[in-house]
């Protein structure tokens, strides 16, 4: 490092606020700070700004119908179609030859595909026609268990075209997790693939479909399988009728399928996410509210324009990929980059190679990835020309000031604003972040709530805390991108999200996302992490109950508790504490079986970092497991007062076991 570089590093370390670069502000989509006051004064009509980014078959009667709180409805009686908004209208505007999806695959560049809007329209129509011929009717849920291949967004948009909600299940989820989600959604149709590449190696994927179908409680009518691996792909003997994706496309080549007019409140998709019980929650998102929110936040926060090439490293199996790889960018007519592979395959500069080759304008990734970039060193981005970038973003978990500043300097060259975004599967899109052309950036703080979004930090009684204090993050007004319910369970929807701080008798409904947060005197919010029984491991939200249920399924395990501990690389690492049955030896082989059971039930991404055997678990006098103390043990923190436990002596024993591991 030169002396100049050292001085710059020191200067960055000491800087607590950054102004948006002048060159960025000059071209930004939103630059006037007056938008905050304007949206507050004109709420909820301010959200017509989002609706205007879409094309409608019939206009809506009112922006917000709050007559049945908290089951809010947006843009009521409006008619539109998400597939039309993401494809057809761009083709009709003469932009059919522009690239919609730039897919970068493994293991060779021969696999890369530039899918134009015209190409996308033809493939979506062909697959939509195929789905109709399979007998799939409007409002039936189709499950998509697929990796990062272009056929996934094609299938999503084909479903949207014919009024069929999709339920995308992350490819890393196990067969058991897939079956659980198909059961919950009562889904009779599955689209999957033979396999995909990871770090240059072909992975068998379709075996999960084979296994899952045997566990689905209802008949699975049809399975469509994409042939990604060619002759090297595996074969599976599926119970349901299996169809080859390529053959279906060939049979329906040239088909014209008019987009179905969908009501604004018709379901667009389900997305399952972990909750405080063992059962995943099916989050319902609707057509108009969700799509307008994804489009508006892409426009205002990511600064997306139709001529931009935008690269988000998320997986479409999670909500970030839905909102900010597929629906947001395509609704605006941008080029969205999809990458199948790992960030360090074949070398640690792979992502920067992609940014340079395709001259990406925006780059959106997770703090977990940024910490890896830091660890690998700045020499990797320095190999490439990253001058095309004009905006950087982070998503999935809070980012500390040091990696924020590294990202700002070494990837953005100090010329790109960084938007640190807080939001959830349930919110549909961004809620707390800076508007990059209008607000200063404070590393470590996500920013203020977006215009028109009423986010407050409150204490346990629901009263707002003062600047400089911490409490619980809450949302006090509805927003268009919000979830509408938990699929098939309206009571759970109210109980999990609205019960904690709402006063139903007074008509005050407060959404509680179960995150802790701090706030400063200027309203900048620092998200502190989950306060419920879920963990955020490398940006993946995992319910403790799901993991614990998998652990106790292992013969010889009597009880288990799982917590997240601080981890420099992952953000949180998972620690499992297991109590064995009488006579069961505490062996490495048993540890391996516990880990294997978790991987089978959820997926390899949920693998516990440590399995600690314990004689008992710390419990209150009423029998509740004190996971906070287990977190303290995992983090090697001071335990504080343990006198209220019914078994206070057990904590020291667990500490000894953990130290011995």
Would you say residue 37 lies in a domain?
Answer: no
| pLDDT score of 1 | 45
Give the pLDDT score at 3.
Answer: 47
How far apart CA 659 and CA 238 sit, in angstroms, is 47
Q: Residue 639: its pLDDT value, please?
A: 67
Q: Which residue range forms the structural domain that includes residue 614?
A: 534-660
Domain finish residue from 411, 428, 445: 411
Within-domain flag for 349: yes
Residues 399 and 538 in one domain: no
Q: Which of 379, 411, 443 is the last residue of a domain?
A: 411
Assigned domain for 293 exists:
yes
Report pLDDT digits (tens) over 502-535.
998 999 999 999 888 999 999 999 998 777 667 7
pLDDT in tens, 231-264: 777 776 666 789 999 999 999 999 999 999 999 9
Any idea which of 494-503, 533-542, 567-576, 587-596 has the lowest mean pLDDT?
533-542
Q: pLDDT value at position 48? A: 98
Which residue did the predictor score with more confidence, 418 or 617? Answer: 418
d(CA 371, CA 353): 19
Q: Which whole number is the average pLDDT over 443-469?
A: 94
Domain presence at residue 493? no
Whether residue 528 lies inside any domain: the answer is no
The CATH number assigned to the domain holding 550 equals 3.30.300.30
Instruction: Express each pLDDT in 155-166 by its tens digit.
Output: 999 999 999 999
Q: Please determine, for residue 425, whether its predicted confidence score (pLDDT) is greater than 60.
A: yes
Residue 111 lies in a domain: yes
Residue 238: how many CB atoms within 10 A of its CB? 19
- pLDDT at residue 487 is higher than 80: yes
291-295, 532-536, 556-560, 655-659: which has the minimum mean pLDDT?
655-659
Convert the pLDDT of each residue in 97-153 to its tens digit.
Answer: 999 999 999 877 777 999 999 999 999 999 999 999 999 999 999 999 999 999 999
Average pLDDT value for residue range 571-576 = 85
pLDDT greater at residue 464 or residue 552: 464
Task: Determine what percent of the chain is predicted with pLDDT higher than 90.
Answer: 69
Q: Is 402 helix (H, G, I), strand (E, B) or coil?
A: helix
Are 149 and 340 contacting, i.e. CB atoms less than 8 angstroms apart? Answer: yes
Question: How many structural domains compose the chain?
Answer: 2
Q: How far apart (Å, rounded) are the C-alpha atoms in residues 647 and 308?
A: 60
- pLDDT of amino acid 132: 98
Show which of 381, 411, 441 is a domain's final residue.
411
Q: Which residues contact 582 (CB under 8 A, 6 or more apart)?
A: none
d(CA 95, CA 91): 5
For all residues of the chain together, what is the average pLDDT?
Answer: 91
Helix axes 117-133, 151-161, angle to 10 degrees: 60
Q: Same structural domain for residues 538 and 404?
A: no
Position 594 confidence tier, pLDDT thresholds 50, 70, 90: very high
CATH label of the domain that carries residue 232? 3.40.50.12780
pLDDT tens per residue across span 288-315: 999 999 999 999 999 999 999 999 999 9
Find the helix or strand (DSSP H, E) in which 151 lies. helix 151-161
Whole-model pTM: value is 0.86
The answer to whether residue 313 sits within a structural domain is: yes
Number of other residues whose CB lies within 10 A of the CB of residue 353: 15
Tell me the pLDDT tens digit for each residue of 365-399.
998 889 889 889 999 999 999 999 999 999 988 88
Bridge partner list, 168: 144
Q: What is the pLDDT of residue 569?
A: 75
Our measurement of the distance from residue 372's CA atom to the centroid of its chain's CA atoms, rounded to an integer in Å, reads: 19
Is 492 contained in some domain?
no
For 70-90, what is the mean pLDDT? 98
């Amino acid at each position: 490092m030169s002396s100049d570089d050292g001085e710059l590093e020191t200067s960055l370390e000491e800087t607590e606020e950054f102004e948006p670069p002048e060159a960025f502000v000059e071209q930004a989509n939103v630059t006037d700070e007056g938008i905050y006051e304007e949206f507050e004064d004109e709420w909820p009509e301010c959200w017509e700004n989002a609706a205007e980014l879409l094309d409608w078959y019939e206009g809506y009667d009112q922006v917000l119908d709050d007559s049945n709180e908290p089951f809010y409805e947006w843009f009521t009686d409006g008619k539109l179609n998400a597939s039309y908004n993401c494809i057809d209208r761009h083709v009709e505007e003469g932009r059919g030859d522009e690239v919609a999806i730039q897919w970068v695959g493994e293991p060779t560049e021969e696999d890369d595909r530039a899918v134009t809007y015209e190409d996308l329209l033809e493939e979506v129509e062909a697959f939509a026609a195929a789905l109709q011929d399979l007998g799939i009717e409007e409002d039936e849920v189709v499950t998509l268990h697929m990796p990062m291949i272009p056929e996934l967004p094609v299938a999503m948009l084909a479903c949207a075209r014919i009024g069929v909600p999709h339920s995308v299940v992350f490819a890393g989820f196990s067969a058991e997790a897939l079956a659980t989600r198909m059961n919950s959604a009562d889904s009779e149709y599955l689209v999957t693939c033979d396999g995909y590449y990871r770090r240059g190696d072909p992975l068998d994927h379709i075996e999960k479909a084979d296994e899952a179908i045997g566990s689905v409680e209802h008949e699975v009518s049809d399975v469509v399988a994409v042939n990604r691996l060619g002759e090297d792909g595996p074969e599976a003997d599926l119970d349901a009728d299996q169809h080859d994706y390529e053959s279906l496309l060939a049979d329906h080549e040239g088909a014209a399928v008019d987009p179905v007019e969908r009501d604004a409140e018709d379901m667009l998709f389900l997305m399952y996410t972990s909750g405080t019980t063992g059962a995943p929650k099916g989050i319902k998102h609707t057509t108009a509210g969700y799509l307008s929110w994804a489009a508006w936040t892409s426009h205002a926060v990511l600064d997306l324009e139709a001529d931009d090439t935008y690269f988000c490293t998320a997986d479409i199996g999670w909500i970030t990929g839905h909102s900010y790889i597929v629906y947001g960018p395509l609704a605006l007519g941008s080029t969205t980059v999809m990458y199948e592979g790992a960030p360090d395959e074949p070398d640690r500069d792979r992502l920067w190679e992609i940014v340079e080759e395709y001259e990406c304008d925006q780059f959106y990734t997770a703090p977990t990835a940024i910490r890896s970039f830091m660890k690998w060193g700045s020499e990797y981005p320095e190999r490439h020309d990253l001058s095309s970038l004009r905006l950087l973003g982070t998503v999935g978990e809070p980012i500390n000031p040091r990696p924020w500043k590294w990202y700002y300097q070494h990837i953005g060259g100090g010329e790109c604003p960084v938007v640190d975004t807080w939001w959830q599967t349930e919110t549909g899109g961004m809620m707390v972040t800076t508007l990059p052309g209008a607000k200063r950036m404070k590393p470590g703080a996500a920013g203020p709530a977006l215009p028109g979004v009423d986010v407050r930090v409150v204490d346990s009684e629901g009263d707002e805390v003062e600047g400089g204090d911490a409490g619980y993050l809450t949302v006090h007004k509805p927003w268009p991108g919000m979830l509408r319910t938990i699929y098939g369970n309206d009571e759970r929807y109210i109980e999990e999200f609205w019960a904690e701080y709402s006063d139903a008798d007074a008509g005050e409904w407060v959404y509680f996302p179960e995150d802790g947060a701090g706030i400063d005197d200027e309203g900048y919010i620092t998200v502190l992490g989950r306060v419920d029984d879920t963990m955020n491991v490398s940006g993946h939200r995992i319910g403790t109950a799901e993991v614990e249920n998998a652990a106790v399924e292992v013969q010889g395990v009597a009880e288990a508790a799982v917590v997240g501990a601080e981890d420099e690389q992952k953000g949180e690492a998972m620690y499992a504490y297991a109590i064995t049955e009488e006579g069961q030896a505490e062996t490495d082989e048993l540890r391996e079986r516990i880990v294997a059971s978790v991987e089978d039930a959820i997926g390899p991404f949920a693998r516990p970092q440590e399995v600690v055997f314990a004689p008992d678990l710390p419990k209150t006098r009423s029998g509740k497991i004190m996971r906070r103390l287990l977190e303290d043990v995992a983090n090697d923190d001071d335990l504080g007062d343990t006198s209220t436990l019914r078994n206070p002596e057990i904590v020291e024993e667990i500490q000894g076991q953990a130290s011995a591991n």
